[in-house]
Amino acid sequence: MAESVYRVLLIEDNDDDADLVLRGIRRFAESVDFTRSNSIPKALDFLTTARDSGALPNLILVDGRIDGVDASDFFQQLEPRGIAHLPCVVLSGSVESRTAERLLQLGANAVRWKPVDYSQFLDEIARILHEFHPSPLVSAREGSTEQEN
């Protein structure tokens, strides 16, 4: 039986951070369909279309602040669209603990801080992927090589 594709939606307005997340996913994940949105409205449009076509992502990674607005706006709009059940992890370098608590109350499964160190950032992406869908993935330490192709 063919393995199903694991879909990840990244909502990130910073090109450099988006590139790091994508590299982390590609380094540690096998068959992943990766989509990026750089704004909350575009992400919500994508999710509505994906819901209607039966192709919702398995995991959403959302930046803690997008265009100067914290991610709570995104989470508040999920339930009315019937997609609040999707696993969502907030990635941020600047979310305060009070804001993180609010995001968790609104439906985020986890709030993770973006490490400044590149290898730590890749390890964090691998931990998130493994935590939310371990079957098609390899761990950060097992099954990966240090070489870049």
Average pLDDT, the chain: 80
Q: Which of 3-7, 14-18, 114-118 has the highest mean pLDDT?
A: 14-18
Residue ranges making up the domain that contains 119: 6-88+103-132
139 or 67: which leads in pLDDT? 67
Q: What string of DSSP letters covers 21-83? A: HHHHHHHHBSSEEEEEESSHHHHHHHHHHHHHHT---SEEEEESEETTEETHHHHHTTGGGT-
98 falls within a domain: no
24 falls within a domain: yes
How much is the pTM? Answer: 0.81
The pLDDT tens digits for 43-101 are: 999 999 999 999 999 889 999 888 877 789 899 999 898 888 888 999 887 778 888 89
Instruction: List the structure tokens of 61.
Output: 């990674």
Residue 113 scores a pLDDT above 90: no
Residue 147 has what pLDDT?
29
CA angle 15, 21, 27 (to 5 degrees): 135
Look at residue 7 and give its three-state secondary structure. Answer: strand
CA angle 58, 43, 118 (to 5 degrees): 70
The partner residues of 137 in beta bridges, in order of sequence, read 29
94 falls within a domain: no
143 falls within a domain: no
51 falls within a domain: yes
139 falls within a domain: no
Residue 143 has what pLDDT?
37
Among residues 107, 9, 113, 15, which one has the least CA distance to residue 56?
A: 9
Instruction: List the structure tokens of 140.
Output: 């950060």
Count structural domains, the chain.
1
